[in-house]
Amino acid sequence: MRLSERILNITPNGADGWAVFYKARQMKADGQDILELTIGEHDKKTDPAILDALTQSARAGNTGYAMVPGSRALREAVARRIRMRTQTPTDHENILITTGGQAALFAAHMAVLDPGDTALFLDPYYATYPGTLRAAGADARAIITRPENNFQPTRRDLERADSAAKSLLINSPNNPTGVVYSPETLEMISDFAKTRDLWLISDEVYDTQVWQGRHLSPRAMEGMEPRTIVIGSMSKSHAMTGSRIGWIAAPKAVVSCLIELSTSTTYGVPGYIQDAALFALNRGDALEKEIASVFCHRRSIAQEILSGTQVLSLVPPSGAMYLMLDIRATGLGGQDFALALLDQEKIAVMPGESFGAAAAGHIRVAMTVEDDLFSGAIRKIVQFAEELAAR
């Protein structure tokens, strides 16, 4: 029996860029001591007080079907957070609670694209993007951004994109590059979206992880609210990756259609997870700052170590929990470097190529192990790269 083109097309060549990650997991399963600096998973687990809120809610009987759009209290809490952080009028009807940012990304594209429509995204990109757009039936087209511009898109980069496109997906603070878009870049992107009449889908799941400058949401820019869909998540801000809870902030008409999509797909997010998220949001931003601060500290550790080498250069990391290292001076590509590093040093990092053609010749290092292990790993990576370059 033939499967649908849509499902077969999610990763058309079968490769999803995760070969090094799977190899590292296999080596670990075989008993080897592998240091994983691959995925965006905090070393700190979900705060016990949030877990208490979760179990209390479940034990109090909140284990039945929950409200599909999300509870009114949680939608209001998310709206309040967005108002405070972006000064943009937002109420609960602008918010849909989703099973993580990932489901929000899929839903946003389902809302604005018909099958075959062109959907733009920026390369380097978070690894699920092309598959997500294709799962929504779109023709996914990457726009290359360049290391010489620190991976900030330029107007010229965007102008090269297919003029028939219907949407543009951006992500700042950025995974994988750690770049935070400047106000000028976001103004330029917003102007481009208006000129081309595009939906702008703004993935802001790292909005609490900004080390330099500040987070700006394009939804807050003039004339952008009616065409912007924001993707939010508790995963990174509250170390709740496994709870699978996030949101969409969008015009009310978009949210009301997306409630129908949720009814036909997830039928909402478990009520006790929603209660845990509400408890976490009500704790205010002190917890968010505490969770984010470890990455800021590790970034400084890495900057100091890397300042002593000419062979590796760091894409200026102004946000998120990753470092993007340019390894071109070693003579290896990202994939070969990452595989050799795994074999010889037992350190797993992601090859830049996992995040698109624009990131070739780079590796992404997740800052997700405690400080001493982390600084030791960065020193080993530097030594490894210097030995390669000296050959």
Q: Is 30 exposed, middle or buried (0-12, 13-18, 19+ CB in 10 A)?
A: exposed
CB of 365: closest distance to ligand PMP in angstroms? 14
* Residue 107 CB, nearest approach to ligand PMP (Å): 12
Q: Of 100 and 305, which CB lies nearer to ligand PMP in the complex structure? A: 100
The least distance separating ligand PMP from the CB of residue 17, rounded to whole angstroms, comes to 14
Report d(CA 94, CA 79) in Å as an integer: 7
Q: Which two tokens stand for residue 267?
A: 């039928």
As a whole number of angstroms, the distance between CA 365 and CA 374 comes to 10
Compare residues 68 and 179 and give the one whose CB is closer to ligand PMP: 179
CB of 104 to ligand PMP, least distance (A): 7
Tell me whether residue 200 or residue 385 sits nearer to ligand PMP (CB atom): 200
**Residue with smaller CB distance to ligand PMP, 178 or 334:** 178
CB of 390 to ligand PMP, least distance (A): 35
Decide if 349 contacts 27 (C-beta within 8 A).
no
Binding site for ligand PMP (CB under 6 A): 40, 100-102, 126, 171, 175, 203, 205, 233, 235, 241, 246
Which residue number, 179 or 381, has a Cβ lying nearer to ligand PMP? 179
Asked whether the beta carbons of 277 and 243 are under 8 A apart, the reply is yes
Q: How far apart are CA 293 and CA 302, in angstroms?
A: 14
The contacts of residue 261 (CB under 8 Å, 6+ apart) are 107, 110, 111
Rounded to whole angstroms, the Cα distance separating 118 from 108 reads 14
Give the nearer residue to ligand PMP in terms of CB position, either 126 or 295.
126
To ligand PMP, the closest distance from the beta carbon of 307 in angstroms equals 27
The answer to whether the Cα torsion of 25, 31, 35, 40 is positive or negative is positive
The nearest distance, CB 241 to ligand PMP, in angstroms, is 5
Residue 264 one-letter amino acid: S
CB of 152 vs ligand PMP, minimal distance in Å:
16
Beta partners for residue 144, in sequence order: 123
**CB of 243 vs ligand PMP, minimal distance in Å:** 9
Listed in sequence order, the DSSP H helices in the chain are 5-8, 19-29, 48-59, 72-86, 100-112, 129-135, 155-159, 183-196, 234-237, 252-264, 271-282, 285-306, 334-345, 371-390
| Closer residue to ligand PMP (CB): 40 or 70 | 40
Evaluated on CA atoms 6, 12, 14, 15, the torsion sign reads: negative
* Complex with ligand PMP: residue 234 or 254, whichever CB lies closer: 234
For the chain, the farthest-separated pair of C-alpha atoms sits apart, in whole angstroms, at: 65
Minimal distance in Å, beta carbon 173 to ligand PMP? Answer: 9
CB 104, CB 233: distance < 8 Å: yes
**What is the rounded distance in angstroms from the CA atom of residue 359 to the CA atom of residue 349?**
14
Amino acid at 152: Q
Q: Which is nearer to ligand PMP, 105 or 220 (CB)?
A: 105
User: 160 in helix, strand or coil?
Assistant: coil
- d(Cα 322, Cα 364) in Å, to the nearest integer? 6
Rounded alpha-carbon distances, angstroms, from residue 291 to 41, 43, 206, 283, 357: 12, 10, 12, 13, 32
Q: Which is nearer to ligand PMP, 86 or 102 (CB)?
A: 102
Give the residue with the Cβ less far from ligand PMP, 86 or 171: 171
- In the complex, minimum distance from the CB of residue 247 to ligand PMP, in angstroms, rounded to a whole number: 9
